[in-house]
Chain A
Amino acid sequence: EAGVVQSPRYKIIEKKQPVAFWCNPISGHNTLYWYLQNLGQGPELLIRYENEEAVDDSQLPKDRFSAERLKGVDSTLKIQPAELGDSAVYLCASSLSPDSYEQYFGPGTRLTVT
């Protein structure tokens, strides 16, 4: 069984530029999560999707961050414009259902903003 796929694995951009991250969850997993992991910290939830609906986006900085999961499968997280403080690892995870709490994580995208 393929795991959660994320791309790109690494991204370096200049501040004020846009950037997008892509995630393909495990087949059949209806719940998809985007997490932010700062250096030396644990992941923090940005947004949770149930199928194509964003059911928890309370931690997503909506002035510059956006996300979509149009067909309820893969998802894209976008930052526009990027700031220096956005340098971090962006993790995607998926689960069969939210109440299982068994989340499977992708390898993440390491973003460096210069």
Chain B
Amino acid sequence: AQSVTQPDIHITVSEGASLELRCNYSYGATPYLFWYVQSPGQGLQLLLKYFSGDTLVQGIKGFEAEFKRSQSSFNLRKPSVHWSDAAEYFCAVGADSSYKLIFGSGTRLLVRP
């Protein structure tokens, strides 16, 4: 069965510092991979997605993610974090014919001024 692991429950970074959020997935074939962001009291917003092709994908708000098949990873990165990036980030995998998204448990990002 497909699964997604986000090993970091919380991450704190200083404003202006770089960010990397980890995501590992379990799936036999090439999965569809996603990163969503959820601000308090809000629904999830799609940041970026990977279906195929270039393994480095660009998203909204200056985020990017890199698909590494050998490591079963899809880590999210941002070169310079803004205070408004503080939120919960979810990695998800979409696989097989069920069209179901399997979400990780999320990483809460805190941004220090």
Contacts and interface: CB of A to CB of B under 8 A. Distances in A.
Given A42-B92, A101-B49, A102-B49, A107 B43 contact: yes
A89 to B, nearest CB: 9
B101 A101 contact: yes
A48 B99 CA distance: 9
A93 B51 CA distance: 20
Nearest to B90: A42
A41 B44 CA distance: 13
A21 interface: no
Interface size class of A (residues with CB under 8 A): 20 to 34
Q: Which of A31, A99, A103, A104 has the most CB of B within 10 A?
A: A103
Q: How large is the interface on B (under 10, 10 to 19, 20 to 34, 35 or more residues)?
A: 20 to 34
A4 B105 CA distance: 23
Interface string B78-111: 0000000000001010100011110111100000
A45 B101 contact: yes
A105 B36 CA distance: 10
A106 interface: yes
Contact of A45 (B90, B100, B105): B100
Residue with the highest number of chain B CB atoms closer than 10 Å, among A31, A41, A101, A107: A101
A101 B51 CA distance: 10
A91 B104 CA distance: 16
A99 B104 CA distance: 20
A43 B106 CA distance: 10
Contacts of B105: 40-42
A98 B90 CA distance: 20
Contacts of B53: none
B41 interface: yes
Given A42-B104, A48-B99, A56-B100, A4 B43 contact: yes
Interface of A: 3-4, 31, 40-45, 48, 56, 91, 93, 98-99, 101-108
Interface of B: 4, 9, 32, 34, 36, 41-46, 49, 51, 90, 92, 94, 98-101, 103-106
Q: 3 closest A-B pairs (Cβ-Cβ)?
A: A42-B103, A105-B43, A98-B99
